[in-house]
Amino acid sequence: MTKKCLYLFLMMAISYTTMAQNKEEAGVNAAVELLRKAMIDPDKAMLQKITSEQLSYGHSSGNIENQATFIETLVSGKSDFVTIDLSNQTVSVSGNTAIVRHNLSATTNDGGKPGTVNLHIMTVWQKQKGQWKLLARQAVKLPQ
């Protein structure tokens, strides 16, 4: 009887952990989608809400922006995403930190110049006051 109780307890603990993990992953996925939409139609308040004040935003060119520069670049139109499509996304949550990887394909109109980008992105998200915020991002160009 004791082994049965222990087995049942372990199964319940595993189920609870899996449900909690799935809930956190769903929250991270929702935050990624909010960021995607905010980058296409930049809204300063939303971008501030979804990003950390300590943001380190790395471009595939090697340029690194902080939160203020990242937001200003989007709001001013210097960086203009017309479309952003994400694929092959994975989410790994550990406590209050999540790592997201995906491919990003986008059409752009930076400074009025049409273009396209195909990147592999890694983002780090941190749960701050109950909300997932983008803490860091790094992009690399996908092989053509």
pLDDT tens string 79-93: 999 999 999 999 999
Residue 6 belongs to what domain range? 2-141
Q: Evaluate if residue 20 carries a pLDDT over 60.
A: no
Single-letter amino acid code for the residue at 64: I
- Distance, in Å, from the CA atom of 24 to the CA atom of 93, rounded to the nearest integer, reads 7
Look at residues 56, 22, 76, 73 and name the one whose alpha carbon lies nearest to residue 134: 56
User: Cα 87 to chain center, whole Å?
Assistant: 12
Closest CA to 62 of 139, 5, 126: 139
Say if CB 39 and CB 120 are below 8 A apart. no
Token pair of 125 as six digits: 């998200």
Model confidence pLDDT, tens digit, residues 38-62: 999 999 999 999 999 999 999 999 9
Question: How many structural domains are present in the chain?
Answer: 1
Query: What CATH number does residue 112 fall under?
Result: 3.10.450.50
Q: Model confidence at 8, in pLDDT bands (50, 70, 90)?
A: low
